[in-house]
Structure 1
Amino acid sequence: MLWEDAKVQMMIEKESWPYCFALSEDFQKTEQRGCISGRLLVRDRYIDDGDLYASGAYVGLALPGEAGSWQRECKGYQFWCRADVDGSFYIRNIITGNYNLYAWVPGFIGDHKLDATLTIVSGDDIYLGDLVYQPPRDGPTMWEIGVPDRSAAEFYVPDPNPKYVNRLYINHPDRFRQYGLWERYAELYPDSDLVYTIGQSDYSTDWFYAQVNRKVDENTYQPTTWQIKFNLDSVSPGSTYKFRVALASSARAELQVFFNDKDRGVPHFATGMIGRDNAIARHGIHGLYWLFNINVNSDWLVQGMNTIYLNVHKSPVQEPEPVSGADV
């Protein structure tokens, strides 16, 4: 009864916000704020000839900046909503000021930003009409690991060490909140690292949710190198392919990428040291989103079986990134 009463009260408080009893001149009442609405569509001609509904998209206003800058913005107000199944959105009770409109769509990589700066004044109810997001695209997707949803939840999350079990999260959707799951990687792969074969492996069982260093003993950690194996029927000489890597989080890690030659002195691509999220150590499944678009020279590839090596270098104090998805 207490729980049901709390849920009813929550809805009352939600509908009552922004509160009318606040006396501060800095707290704007409902009539002093503004609203915006519109519909977000996704344009990807390699998937559909028509525009797609951005169903369930996250649409919000934040201080003006670059696409995706809202992730790191902490000095201004932000106002967000989830779009309906047809991509329609309506953001209410926006404090007056200048904003950019940002969005991201589950199932599609990248960030959307409306180029225009929106100025919200008291009483505004702005209708933006149809907005179109075009995800980064250079050609048809040859293969993909995971789902581009900024979360590592779809990957393999192991059972916890029995001495760390939190019974609240047994058979729970948030099973990744169990403590110490990152240490299970060394138990599952004590001598060699993960190998994922396109067309044979299943990311829900064969792709560990976080690429971490292997713990050898209390004070010793080893870098890990994962492999993605895939077959190419042919390679177009002189052409450039695209390898996109989306990271759900990173904690003082550097991801190095090698194509068919892991022993070359310099990686074909390196992120540099990125992230201070600590998502894994904090029992989370995502933090700041990172997207890297890597140009792959045809000289790096061969006809037949190819191997991409993902090597993680990091400080052993922090835990590195869960990977949200990778596609070529």
Structure 2
Amino acid sequence: MDVPPPQDYHPLPDKLFLNVGDGRFEDISVEAGIRTDGMGLGVVAADFNRDGRPDLCVANDVVGNHLYWGSSSFPLREDGERSGIAYNESGSPEGSMGIDAEDVNGDGLPDIWVTNFELEDNSLYLNLGDNHFQHGSARMGLAGIGRALVGFGTGFQDFDNDGWPDLYILNGHVQYHSPRSPFLQPAFLLRNVEGRRFEDITPRAGPWFSVPRAGRGAAVGDLNNDGTLDLIISSLDEPLTILRNRLRTTGSLRLRLIGVGSSRDPIGAVISSPFRDRRIIRFAKSGAGYMSQSDPRIVIPLDSDADSVEVAVNWPSGRHEVFREPAVAGDHVLVEGRGEKFH
């Protein structure tokens, strides 16, 4: 028996819960203006417009995606259509499931990536910096990647420690007997080539990628603390898979941010650090992928000849600080209020 298509059921409304601080959460969905007409499958929280407040982007199935701008008061403004992330380039909604956000082209702004259903292109929305996004899949070499497949878990991570976020995509059908594509489908690994385009490196990513599966969720973290990021993958009808990253690099800093004036987990913080001939920008975010949560530590690659590393943090509270850390691979804890102030 196959699952019914999403057009055959009525969506349940998305919910937003306020942490009241004593172990309880309060449903504030109506007060916050959360729309009830979406079919949400993926969500990511990050500061998309760099105003210091975390925003929310929701990947919806067969209806337009939603984007809520963070605010100091309710209701939140939902701006998916006007911002340009609701639909594909033709102005049509897609079957969106996986989602993530990261600065893929080095302009300091988080871009949005969404995986979609078969016969739909996965969508990269490039952040223009004025609360608007532009379709960038073709420009970044992602047009057609996975078009014949059903995309689920996905995310941007710097797997080779070159300072550029790479991309993984899990695929797998929801119907056992689809006339258009098989139930088991291949995954992809794509390398970010200096912010100009993505290169498909799946054939040399390892034997796991050569076998089609019904891929669903995935999370990323440095599981063995060797300085490179590993993958944890969930597929239907098989055990959890751990893919260990075996690349040899100069290592990385794993930064754990602790908010004081901000939330303890400072979602919306923006982190920057010089690396080679530019500054890397990373974003403290939550959610992403498909029903998954990756390691929240911010990973910054190390230069081989560096003695120390400068890390600048824009906290959600509005505080701006610089931390100077020894260039020693491993975990570093950055506590709000203990760095040097800058403007």
Short-chain TM bin? under 0.3
Greater relative contact order (Cα 8 A, min sep 6): structure 1 or 2?
Answer: 1
After TM superposition, the score normalised by the length of structure 1 is 0.27
Greater Rg by CA: 1
